[in-house]
Chain A
Amino acid sequence: MAQTNIVLEAKDITKQFPGVLANDGVNFNLRKGEIHALLGENGAGKSTLMNVLYGLHLPDKGEIYVNEKPVLIHSSNDSIALGIGMVHQHFMLIPVFTVAENIMLGDETVRRGMLDQNAVAEKVNQLSKQYGMDVDPLALVGQLPVGVQQRVEIVKTLYRDAQILILDEPTAVLTPQEADDLFRIMRDLTKRGVSIIFITHKLKEVLAIADRITVMRAGRTVGTVSPKDVNPEKLATMMVGREVNLVILKKQANPKEATLVVKDLHVEDDRRYPAVRGVSFEVHAGEVLGIAGVQGNGQTQLAEALTGLRPTQSGQVTLAGKDITGKTPRVITETGLANIPEDRQRHGLVLSYTIADNMVLCNYYRPPFANGVVMQPDQIDANARQLIKDFDVRTPSPFVPASKLSGGNQQKVIVARELSRPIKLLIASQPTRGLDVGSIEYIHSRIIQKRDEGAAVLLVSSELDEIMVLSDRIAVMYRGQIVDIVPAANVSKEYLGLLMAGVKLEDAVKSAPKQEKEIKVERVF
Chain B
Amino acid sequence: MDWKRFSFIALVIIVLFGAVVMVGQSQQRPILIITSMLATTIAVATPLTLGALSGVFCERSGVVNIGIEGMMLSAAFFGWLAAIYMFHVFGFPIGISITVGALFAVITGGLMGLLLAVLSITFNVDQIIGGTVINILAVGLTGFLNRQLFFGKGSVFGGQVPNSPGVLPTIHIPIREIFAPLCSDSIICIENIRAINRVFDQKPIAMGAVLLVFIAHFILFKTRWGLRTRSVGEHPKAADTVGINVFKMRYANVIIGGCLAGLAGAYFTIESVPSFEPLLTNGRGFISLAAMIFGNWTPIGAWAAALVFGASQALQINMQLFRESIPPQWAFLQQSYVVGLAPYILTMLILTGIIGKTTPPAADGVPYEK
Contact = CB atoms under 8 A, between A and B. Distances in A.
A92 B243 contact: no
A263 interface: no
A101 interface: yes
A115 B224 contact: yes
Interface stretch (A74-82, A238-246, A275-283, A421-429): A74-82
A56 B241 contact: yes
Interface stretch (A21-29, A102-110, A205-213, A224-232): A102-110
A91 B234 CA distance: 13
Contact of B242 (A76, A95, A110, A114): A76
B243 A76 contact: yes
Contacts of B245: 75
Contact of B243 (A91, A104, A106, A115): A106
A94 interface: yes
Q: How large is the interface on A (under 10, 10 to 19, 20 to 34, 35 or more residues)?
A: 20 to 34
A115 B221 CA distance: 9
A336 B355 CA distance: 41
Contacts of B324: none
Given A94-B234, A96-B234, A106 B239 contact: yes
A56 B242 contact: no
A92 B238 contact: yes
B144 to A, nearest CB: 38
Contact of A94 (B231, B243, B370): B231
Given A97-B231, A105-B228, A115 B222 contact: yes
B235 interface: yes
Given A94-B231, A94-B234, A94-B235, A56 B244 contact: no
Interface string B220-255: 001110011011001101111111110000000000
Contacts of A105: 227-228, 231, 238-239, 242, 244
Q: Interface on chain B toward A: helix, strand, loop, or mixed SS?
A: helix
B357 to A, nearest CB: 10
Interface string A103-142: 0111110100111000000000000000000000000000
Contacts of A76: 240-243
Contacts of A433: none
Contacts of A104: 227
A59 to B, nearest CB: 14
Contacts of B223: 110, 113-115
A101 B227 contact: yes
B369 to A, nearest CB: 12
Contacts of A96: 234, 362
Nearest to B233: A94
B235 A92 contact: yes
Give the most central of A92, A101, A105: most B CB within 10 Å: A105
Contacts of A101: 227
Contact of B241 (A54, A110, A113): A54
A177 B141 CA distance: 66
B227 A80 contact: no
A150 B235 CA distance: 17
A168 to B, nearest CB: 11
A477 interface: no
Nearest to B238: A92
Given A108-B227, A115-B222, A80 B235 contact: no
A308 to B, nearest CB: 24
B104 to A, nearest CB: 30
A115 B227 contact: yes
Contacts of A106: 228, 239, 242-244
Given A56-B370, A105-B231, A92 B224 contact: no
Contacts of A156: 242
B367 to A, nearest CB: 16
B363 to A, nearest CB: 10
A96 B235 CA distance: 10
A448 interface: no
A75 B237 contact: no
A86 interface: yes
Contacts of B231: 94, 97, 105
Given A105-B227, A105-B231, A115-B222, A75 B243 contact: yes
Q: Nearest 5 pairs between A and B by C-beta?
A: A106-B242, A77-B243, A92-B238, A108-B224, A92-B241
28 contacts: A75-B245, A76-B240, A76-B241, A76-B243, A80-B242, A92-B242, A93-B235, A94-B230, A94-B234, A95-B362, A96-B234, A97-B227, A97-B231, A105-B228, A105-B231, A105-B239, A105-B242, A106-B228, A106-B239, A106-B242, A106-B243, A110-B223, A110-B224, A114-B222, A115-B223, A115-B224, A115-B227, A156-B242
Interface of A: 54, 56, 75-77, 80, 86, 88, 91-97, 101, 104-108, 110, 113-115, 156
Given A91-B238, A114-B222, A115-B223, 17 more contacts: A56-B241, A75-B243, A80-B243, A86-B241, A88-B241, A94-B230, A95-B362, A96-B362, A97-B234, A105-B227, A106-B228, A106-B239, A106-B243, A108-B224, A108-B227, A113-B222, A115-B222
